[in-house]
Amino acid sequence: MSKHSNAGLLAAAAIALAIPQARAELAVWDQAKVTALSKQLAEVAGTLNDTFYRQPVPTAGSVQTRGYARLKDAVAKIQRESKSLNGKLEKGADRQATLNSYQNLMQTVNTAREEAKGVFATSDVGEKATAVRGVLNQLGPYYDPDFKELHPVTR
């Protein structure tokens, strides 16, 4: 390659890096809809937590024991964080005022999804997790312009 073609490549790369990447837009904020979704989320997260607690516990010393305990904690935390988010929205808090709560909730959801990869769960727990995931998929675009739909966890 000549010096001129190298310079042309460098200039093209610099221009490409300087152009801002297109971001998806946030969904238009609808306080009533977001509040209704958060209420639904709190309900299905509570059902998931109750169902998870009723499933068989791995036997002591099994490979799943620690993962199960971490997942159990994460599922309970999802329930608490969902209730907290709903409480704030029901009091009229907007996107900005609830963004931190939503982000904390999603961190916990992602932790739970990672733990779930290594833990056996009954089919009824899977059904309840699907309900939670469905509500989160509707709620996400109101808070995250780059929200990626949550899919079932694969082992």
155 is a domain residue: no
What's the domain count of the chain? 1
13 is a domain residue: no
Cβ neighbour number for residue 72 with a 10 Å cutoff: 18
| pTM, 2 dp | 0.82
5 is a domain residue: no
21 is a domain residue: no
129 is a domain residue: yes
130 is a domain residue: yes
Measure CA of the first residue to CA of the last residue in the chain; give whole Å: 48
Domain enclosing residue 133, as ranges: 28-143
Residues with Cβ within 8 Å of 37's Cβ and at least 6 positions away in sequence, in order, are: 135, 138, 139, 142
- Domain of 95: which CATH number? 1.20.120
Provide the residue-wise pLDDT of the chain in tens; the chain has 155 residues: 555 545 554 444 444 444 445 567 899 999 999 999 999 999 999 999 999 999 888 777 776 788 889 999 999 999 999 999 999 999 999 999 999 999 999 999 999 999 998 888 888 999 999 999 999 999 999 999 999 999 998 87
152 is a domain residue: no
35 is a domain residue: yes
